[in-house]
Structure 1
């Protein structure tokens, strides 16, 4: 199983089935598909396979995102990305195609809007001791047919890790709890993970089992507020996503020297263990002595009134918020997805303090700011393209 370094057993049961969801957005000229899978990560190789397969059934462009559940089979979730185990990749491709065919057969005229709400005291900085609970911003993209909300895409910027490292049953974990709490006979629900790199319920949860997963899921569901009806203006044409290839420098020798210093003194046993694990990852990376840059895809797609940004790694919450605020003057509603179209790992800023995330990250400090700049550029371009298309079709 993936997600926890100190996990010693494989899958031995099913707590709740892992799911693959596909939502399609289409008009006469373009069809975009968003795939969200209950996996620890998706690597570039399986993203490419799914995109190729999707083109064969009429999907023009496609994103693939992982919920980052730590109760899934190992999918090659290694800093910098690696090869997806073939059995996992084969099943993911097959499930994505099946879900896409169903989504395409169910397409209907609809509008899209977004809203945001704060879930009070829901989570906190996961690898800091004595961190106070935070009010966590949860984004909801609502799909509305007429006046009825027929679908929800809920984006939680929180690590979906309620179940512990010694759990050996597959589960969607927190994402599944939110899905169950919001499910209704007359609408579908997809739950994705946002800028959750440094956020979890480690200091706020009251247990580690399925009851706690469902309690937290219900807490999020109580605060989800679908946006008001999108109005009577024509929907914007569906446009292709805008992508940016970003080159990020691998950690330099001096950064590894800093990483292998003694573990910071903390009183929390679990946090101390996690820090030690991060140091071991840093030492393994230093031994490989990578010199060539990492090249990752940052993308944005404008869907009616909402612009969605996809990031191939573990973006810190503050960086997701930086994308929103930097583009706020030019893009009205931005929703940020993490773990999308690849897996690089953690994306530290220039001033991220020493932590598991900085130790395990394969890239240099300041990579977070570089990625934010590219994401903002892509979001602005995608929104402008949408607005031009709307004017031309009016």
Structure 2
């Protein structure tokens, strides 16, 4: 199983089934598919494989995202991404194609809007000793047919890690709880994960089992439930291919790790768990440093406009604050942005210039300040996608 560094057991059973969801967005000229899989990560190799297979069935562009559940099979989720195990890649591709064909067969005229809900007492900064909870921004893409809400894409910026490291039963974890709480016979729900790099339920959960998964899923659902759909917002925007910004990030150097170690506070009363996690991260960092990587990491940050809803995909673990910066830094013409993490590859944590030493900075394969570089690329991609939107509207008019 993937996710926890100190896990030793493999998959023993099923707590709740892992799922692959596909939503297609199409018009006469282009079809875009969003694939969301209950896996710890998706690497570039399997993303390319799925994109190629999707083109064969009429999907011109495609994103593949992982929910980042830590109760799933290992999928090559090492910093920088590794080769996806063959059996995982094959099953993910097959399930994606089945789901995509089903989505295409049930396509219907619909409109999209986005809604944001601040959910209190859901989660907080996971590696800070202060246990105070945050108001967590949960974004929902609302799919409306006529006056009926027929689908929701819920993006939660929270690590789905309610289930512990000694759990050996597969589960969608928090994202599964969200789906169960919001789904109805007449409404489908896709639960994706956003800028969750430093956010978890560590200080807010009241248990480590499926009951707590469903409690927190219902807690979020009760507050994110769309009350009244927005309809009739003018002419639909044509479906356009995503815009990609290529980003080059420098690998973390041993000297940077040495500085971080010197700055790491010693354990004190009440934060033994945090200290243990940081020591675990240090061991991982030392293993990376021993490999002495010199070549940069190259990733793609993408943006797509879906009927006026701008969605950005980042192939790594973006801190919540950086996700919020993408939204606030974009010009007004872009509109609200929904930030999707763990999508189209897996690089690992993306630290900022001023991130204090923590587990995330230790195990990140890239140098500090990489987070700001990714934010800048995400804003550029969103601006370019917004320009495509305006150009398409002028042509349509």
What TM-score does the superposition give when structure 2 sets the normalisation length? 0.97
- Alignment-derived partner of residue 367 in structure 1: 370
Find the counterpart in structure 2 of residue 304 from structure 1. 307
Secondary structure, aligned partner of 1:92: helix
The whole-number CA distance in structure 2 between the counterparts of 1:95 and 1:228 is 31
Cα distance, 1:7 vs structure 2: 0.5
Number of the residue aligned with 2:332: 329
Q: Does 1:147 align with 2:147?
A: yes
Aligned residue number for residue 318 of structure 1: 321
Structure 1 match to 2:352: 349
Encode CA deviations 1:156-200: one digit per residue, 9 max, x unaligned: 000011000100000000000000000100010000000000000
Residue pairs, 1:75-90, within 5 angstroms: 75-90=75-90
* Contact 1:118/1:137, CA 8 A, preserved across alignment: yes
Check conservation: 2:144, 2:229, Cα contact below 8 A. Answer: no
1-side partners of 2:37 and 2:143: how far apart?
20
Give the distance between the partners of 1:263 and 1:233, measured in 2 at CA. Answer: 54
Cα drift, residue 147 of structure 1: 0.6
1:127-206 maps to which residues of 2 (within 5 A)? Answer: 127-206=127-206
CA distance in 1, matches of 2:272, 2:254: 29
- Deviation readout 1:85-113 (Å, 9 max, x if unpaired): 00000000000000000000010010000
Deviation track 1:288-313 (CA, whole Å, cap 9, x = no partner) reads 11111000010000000200000000
SS at match of 2:332: coil
Asked if the contact 1:236/1:303 (under 8 Å) is kept, the reply is yes
Between the two proteins, the alignment pairs up a number of residues equal to: 394
- After superposition, give the CA deviation of every residue in 1:63-103 in whole Å (9 maximum; x if it has no partner): 00000000000000001111000000000000000000000
Per-residue displacement from partner, 1:205-224 (whole Å, max 9, x unpaired)? 10000110000000000011
Q: Distance in 2 between matches of 1:258 and 1:282?
A: 13
Contact 2:114 2:139 in 1 (8 A): yes
Is 1:66 aligned to 2:66, yes or no?
Answer: yes
Question: Secondary structure in 1 aligned to 2:334?
Answer: coil
Q: Distance in 2 between matches of 1:113 and 1:61?
A: 21
Offset of residue 375 of structure 1? 0.2
Most deviating of 68-77 and 273-282: 273-282
Q: Which residue of the partner structure matches residue 247 of structure 2?
A: 246
Query: How far off is 1:155 after superposition?
Result: 0.3
- Checking the alignment, whether the CA contact within 8 Å between 2:251 and 2:365 is kept in structure 1 is yes
TM-score by length of 1: 0.98
Three-state SS of the structure 2 residue aligned to 1:319 is: helix
Correspondence for 1:124: 124
Post-superposition offset of 1:263: 5.5
Q: 2: distance between equivalents of 1:273 and 1:343?
A: 25
| Structure 1: stretches of 5+ with no match in the other structure | none
CA shift digits 1:336-356 (9 cap, x unpaired): 000000000000000000000
- Quote the Cα distance in structure 1 between the aligned partners of 2:273 and 2:181: 29
- Contact 1:263-1:276 within 8 A present in 2 as well: no
**In the aligned structure 2, how far is the partner of 1:262 from the partner of 1:235?**
53
Q: 1:382 aligns with which of 377, 381, 385?
A: 385
Find 1:287's aligned residue among 285, 290, 312.
Answer: 290
Q: Secondary structure of the residue that 1:36 maps to in structure 2?
A: strand
- Segment of structure 1 superposing worse, 118-127 or 229-238: 229-238
Distance (whole Å) between structure 2 residues aligned to residue 22 and residue 37 of structure 1: 9
Asked whether the equivalents of residues 138 and 157 of structure 1 are also in contact (C-alpha less than 8 Å), the reply is: yes
Q: Secondary structure at the match of 1:321?
A: helix
Give distance in 2, aligned partners of 1:200 and 1:297: 26
Unaligned runs of 5+ in 2: none
Q: Please name the residue that 1:272 is paired with.
A: 275
1:32 and 2:32 matched? yes
